[in-house]
Amino acid sequence: MTPSFCTIVPPHLLEHLAASENPSVAAAARRTLLADATARTARTRPRPDAPAPGAEAPAEPRRTIHDARNRTALPGAKVRDEGEEPVADATVNRAYTGLGATFALFRDAFGRDSMDGAGLPLIASVHYDEKYGNAFWNGEQMVFGDGDGEIFLDFTLPVDVIGHELAHGFTQYTANLEYFSQSGALNESVSDVFGSLVKQYALGQSADQADWLIGAGLFHPDVQGAALRSMKAPGTAYDDDVLGKDPQPAHMDDYVRTGQDNGGVHINSGIPNHAFYLAATELGGNAWERAGRIWYDVLTGGTLTPDTRFTEFAAATVRAARARYGDAAEIQAVTKAWAAVGVPTD
């Protein structure tokens, strides 16, 4: 199963909104679910071969932004290319900047040349469909909706949403984690980890300064919620009469077994998310420098299989910490973090 269609808003949340007593909220959610189902089957892109290592990262990314003009045909009309001046449309400019911020993290912190390691052009389409309440990576490009204006605002507003979705491309070109059950939850968690790191790097925040929220600023001000997910405290991101309550667990004791959402990939990602938060804050400093480097080494190390489970991933982070840092504080921090969420590392 190639993870070629990955969204930031989980289907269980959209399904909850689709049952809302507010007709406009329900209609927008149903439209988004339908658009997602259509987009999910629009491509059968095979898993790309991993690029040969050794290419040096270019100084700048290669970004192209398109305007879908509230339709679903992709990519839409080209409205801004790499190096061109900002345009009048703020959504276009935010997408352009967010792609650049994601590229900068991977280049500067990890020496990686775009998501594939070989200069993959970064393509995005904005203004997708009407009142579309999601953003997704379809295996080739980013796509952003404008939101419904009642629950969701413009999906280019939070830079970590852009980083999250592009990071699905990073996973696609490295470990290729299947988008189902625990491997799918790891796939989602990796995107949350690197999406959060994109925001922290762009803002110059240390692990202690970061909010560890995914999608802060995405909700309409009337919504009782801070973000889509919290890595610091899974299960607390929102609690709203219309949205419902954040269902993410922070510990394996509360692991959710479900047939929905590809086996709960957006729900159970809270467990590895929290492990990364604990490791990063235990180590302190900039999260991309040590904890992020360990997670990056695991994704690019060639030891993961598409159906990797939490215990296997956790053990791989300990091995990666030892390989890079020796018997030092990094190993203790990573081991302690996984133990705190109930995932053994040996």
**What distance lies between CA 156 and its chain's CA centroid?**
13
Of the residues 164, 266, 274, 282, only one is catalytic, namely 266
Distance CA 109, CA 284 (A): 16
Task: Judge whether 150 counts as a catalytic residue.
Answer: no
Assigned token pair, 108: 């500067």
CA–chain centroid gap for 26, Å, is 25
**Residue 160: partners with Cβ closer than 8 Å, 6 or more residues away:** 195, 196, 198, 199, 213, 214, 215, 216
Query: Inter-axis angle of helices 310-325 and 329-340, to 10 degrees?
Result: 170
266 belongs to the catalytic site = yes
CA atoms of 108 and 161, how far apart (whole Å): 20
Read off φ and ψ for residue 64, nearest 5 degrees. -140, 125
Catalytic residue among 165, 178, 188, 330: 165
Nearest to 120 by CA among 112, 128, 130: 112
Distance separating alpha carbons of residues 56 and 64, to the nearest angstrom = 21
Cα distances (Å, whole numbers) of residue 18 to 23, 30, 321: 9, 5, 44
Active site amino acids: 165, 266
